[in-house]
Structure 1
Amino acid sequence: MTTIKLKIRLYGDPCLRKKSIPVPEVGPPERALIQSMMATMHEHKGIGLAAPQVCIHQRIFVADIGEGPLAFVNPKIIRYFGSGVLEEGCLSIPGVTVMVRRPEKIVVRYLDEHNQPVEKACEALLARVIQHETDHLDGRLIVDYAGFKERIKLRKQLKAIQESQEMQ
């Protein structure tokens, strides 16, 4: 299967704010997309990439925190436990990090790349990545979690990213 090089959309691109639609079934086109997304994520040294970040509005994301690649189709977080604040970055907002409070443990239901249903308990970094990428599927970005003062500090950086997106 040939992987296609995908363009990561940057802050300011309307693709990032559009809510994604469920995938009826994982077939060859979705598997090809997953493979291309995984290659794109690894090329950019990311640990997660959601379909809206490459302007595809399907509820699909990929993740690899160093324990092997995972594909999540139609993910739904069904349980949350604990709470913690950590700094997060995003391939669509290069150079920007935001402190984000999220549950530390989750249980997620999804289809894998073989169209098989999975229910998985996750914690620590994987739980955070799943929540971050699920946010992308709903049109939310890490900057939405920034407080008023933090947004003011980020304004110049975000404007520069947005302007670079508009020039592409």
Structure 2
Amino acid sequence: MAIRNIVRVGDDVLAKECRPVEIFDNKLRQLLDDMQDTLYEANGAGLAAPQVGVLRQVCVIDVGDGLVELINPEIVHVEGEQSGAEGCLSLPDEWGMVSRPQRVTVKAQNRKGKWFETIGEDLFARCICHEVDHLHGIVFTDKASRMLTPEEIEQMQKEQEQQEQKGKRRKRRR
């Protein structure tokens, strides 16, 4: 396993359509393992293959409930709407307001090629949509209603830190 370089916006690979995965072999497993390591090293919630320079329909997501690998993902159902701040490992320190479905059902394959469906809500739904967009050459700035100012980003980070501190205090009391 290895940490791969994350492609930044401006690189043409992020604007291209990815090809479906047809061969489920050691090369794919290595890509998935490397993407997992890269995601965790970057402290991200999701990572798509084009973000590491690979034009294949592969993404990994972990919003705190464990890693989910999606190969050849297709969103088959959406419900509701949520709007919120969204960022991307390919655009460090940039955040924008993006509307996404509140709940999505995605059909995908696992690393062995077996098809499955999973349902994502809230942040998981947002991440599924964000990563699937990457597979079609779309970055979140293409969908953002507006980008956040540096002051708004700083305030958002402060609020996040406060939430994390509250969570740590609750765990200690248990």
Bin of the TM-score, shorter chain as denominator length: 0.7 to 0.9
Find the counterpart in structure 1 of residue 99 from structure 2. Answer: 101
Structure that is richer in strand per residue: 2
Correspondences of 1:1-168 after superposition (within 5 Å): 3-147=1-145, 150=146
Q: Structure 2: how far apart are the matches of 1:84 and 1:123? A: 10
Secondary structure at 1:89 match in 2: strand
Q: Report if aligned partners of 2:3, 2:41 keep a CA contact under 8 Å in 1.
A: no
Q: Structure 2: how far apart are the matches of 1:131 and 1:96? A: 18
Q: Structure 1: how far apart are the matches of 2:13 and 2:51? A: 7
Q: What is the letter of the counterpart of residue 110 of structure 2?
A: D
Q: Structure 2: how far apart are the matches of 1:4 and 1:126? A: 25
Secondary structure at 1:24 match in 2: coil
Q: Report if aligned partners of 1:27, 1:115 keep a CA contact under 8 Å in 2.
A: no
Give 1:23 shift: 0.4
Give 1:26 shift: 2.1
Find the counterpart in structure 2 of residue 166 from structure 1. Answer: none
Give 1:99 shift: 0.5
Residues paired across the two proteins, number: 150
Alpha-carbon deviations, 1:78-104, whole Å to 9, x = none?
000001101100000000001100110
Secondary structure at 2:142 match in 1: helix
- Asked which structure has the greater RCO (Cα within 8 Å, sep 6+), the reply is 1
Q: Structure 1: how far apart are the matches of 2:133 and 2:86? A: 13
Q: What is the letter of the counterpart of residue 76 of structure 1?
A: E
Q: Which segments of 5 or more consecutive residues in structure 1 lack a partner in the other structure?
A: 155-168
Q: Structure 2: how far apart are the matches of 1:116 and 1:146? A: 34
Deviant stretches of 4+, over 4 Å: none
Q: Structure 2: how far apart are the matches of 1:55 and 1:34? A: 13
Q: Which segments of 5 or more consecutive residues in structure 2 lack a partner in the other structure?
A: 151-174
CA RMSD of aligned residues (A): 1.6
Identity of aligned residues (%): 36
Give 1:37 shift: 0.3
Q: What is the letter of the counterpart of residue 93 of structure 1?
A: L
